């Protein structure tokens, strides 16, 4: 597959990337409304195939440093299960040896991550299950299933508390994890009235928990795109259970797709951009701890920005964990919209400088 633009032309890779992003914008996954493999609360074992991504930028296979990111490795993931895909939110275990993802078809994925040194090599022991509604009700309609973001509020992926954000029917649910099983939500968080006016397909797309400092434990959420001509994306921070607005500058028309809390109390924000003539791009911005507060208008600093010449797809999920040496590791996952002809499920890992 060609990875660089010809003079005045568009490569096949860019065309496929463009079609992929278009499918994402249309939100037309090909998955089933209620995955048959995902009906049990404990999930159903599935096989996941992993193909190694040798270099993050194929045109420079020897390069490992990209902005503030140090490439550790990547995988292209696939599965015989037709319900595998659509991964839009991601959480990593504290040691990076397991992950949990949620999909816009209302499914969850739990898997162990195998490594060769610091390079991810495979996902093993994978289970796929269905998210449920209050009192265990099945989420049978697409407007109820569209999970776009997940954050670990406390505990671990074996026993803890998840917050999961949904769009279309905008809400944030509190889900307990018991022995690796995701229980039905115990409640939905109070959301501000203006959040109910978010566009149907551009609602809660990013959730993160502040990990340190005076606001430690506070939830931050951003809409995918809710600017109303202000030049700023709209988000909220829950302090002592009460949501307060904060904003992030809209730079070059990128949409927000996820966020993750950093050990110092700061945040990373993942963004995506698409144009037919340019393909898909991604960007990560870093917000410092002292900047994040109710009422803030944030800009942050760009950690990395890349286009279709890199090994990216429709990057929608992001998580942070500590490496064995204490380094901060950033993991990204893409949403293939169940469109296996044109899109891929890509898992990428980087060390974060600074």
Each residue's pLDDT tens digit, 271-282: 999 887 888 999
In a domain, 116, yes or no: yes
User: What's the rounded mean pLDDT across residues 245-262?
Assistant: 98
In a domain, 1, yes or no: no
The count of structural domains within the chain is 1
Q: pLDDT tens-digit profile of 277-331?
A: 888 999 999 999 999 999 999 999 999 999 999 999 999 999 999 999 999 999 9
pLDDT at 37: 40
Q: pLDDT tens-digit profile of 80-132?
A: 999 999 999 999 999 999 999 999 999 999 999 999 999 999 999 999 999 99
User: Quick one: 341 exposed, middle or buried, by C-beta within 10 A (0-12, 13-18, 19+)?
Assistant: exposed
In a domain, 5, yes or no: no
Distances, alpha carbon 137 to alpha carbons 41, 106, 225, in Å? 12, 12, 30
Distances, alpha carbon 277 to alpha carbons 4, 16, 25, 199, 273, in Å? 13, 11, 16, 25, 12
In a domain, 2, yes or no: no
Q: pLDDT tens-digit profile of 192-201?
A: 999 999 999 9
- Main-chain phi, psi angles of 282, to 5 degrees: -135, 155
Bridge pairing between strands 69-78 and 345-352: antiparallel
Tokens 């995506």 found at: 272
pLDDT at 277: 81
pTM of the prediction? 0.90
Partners of residue 244 on adjacent β-strands = 237
Q: What is the mean pLDDT of the chain?
A: 90
Domain extent at residue 111: 12-352
pLDDT at 3: 32
In a domain, 54, yes or no: yes
In a domain, 333, yes or no: yes
pLDDT at 2: 30
Backbone torsion region of residue 324, taken as left when φ is above 0, otherwise alpha when ψ lies between -120 and 50, otherwise beta: alpha
Q: Is the pLDDT of residue 65 over 70?
A: yes
Residue 81 is part of a domain; what is its CATH number?
2.120.10
SS3 of residue 265 by DSSP: coil
In a domain, 6, yes or no: no
């Amino acid at each position: 597959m060609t990875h660089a633009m010809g003079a005045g032309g568009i490569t096949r890779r860019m065309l496929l990337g463009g079609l992929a992003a278009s499918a994402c914008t249309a939100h037309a996954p090909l998955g089933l409304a209620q995955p048959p493999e995902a009906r049990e609360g404990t999930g159903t074992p599935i096989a996941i195939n992993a193909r190694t991504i040798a270099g993050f930028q194929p045109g420079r296979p020897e390069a490992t440093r990209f902005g503030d990111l140090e490439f550790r490795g990547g995988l292209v993931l696939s599965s015989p299960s037709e319900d595998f895909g659509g991964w839009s939110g991601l959480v990593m275990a504290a040691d990076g040896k397991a992950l949990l993802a949620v999909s816009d078809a209302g499914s969850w994925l739990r898997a162990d991550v195998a490594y060769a040194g610091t390079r991810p090599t495979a996902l093993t022991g994978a289970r796929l299950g269905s998210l449920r509604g209050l009192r265990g009700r099945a989420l049978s309609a697409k407007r109820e299933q569209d999970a776009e973001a997940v954050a670990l509020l406390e505990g671990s992926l074996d026993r803890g508390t998840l917050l999961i954000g949904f769009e279309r029917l905008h809400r944030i649910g509190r889900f307990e994890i018991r022995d690796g099983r995701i229980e039905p939500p115990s409640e939905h968080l109070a959301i501000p009235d203006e959040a109910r006016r978010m566009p149907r397909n551009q609602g809660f797309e990013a959730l993160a928990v502040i990990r340190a400092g005076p606001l430690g434990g506070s939830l931050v959420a951003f809409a995918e795109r809710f600017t109303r001509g202000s030049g700023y994306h709209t988000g909220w921070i829950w302090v002592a259970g009460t949501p307060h607005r904060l904003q992030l500058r809209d730079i070059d028309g990128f949409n927000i797709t996820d966020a993750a809390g950093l050990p110092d109390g700061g945040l990373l924000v993942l963004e995506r951009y698409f144009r037919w003539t340019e393909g898909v791009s991604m960007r990560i911005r870093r917000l410092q701890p002292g900047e994040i507060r109710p009422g803030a208008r944030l800009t942050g600093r760009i950690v990395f920005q890349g286009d279709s010449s890199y090994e990216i797809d429709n990057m929608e999920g992001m998580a942070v964990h500590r490496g064995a040496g204490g380094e901060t590791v950033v993991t990204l996952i893409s949403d293939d919209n169940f469109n296996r002809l044109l899109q891929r499920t890509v898992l990428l890992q980087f060390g974060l400088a600074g």
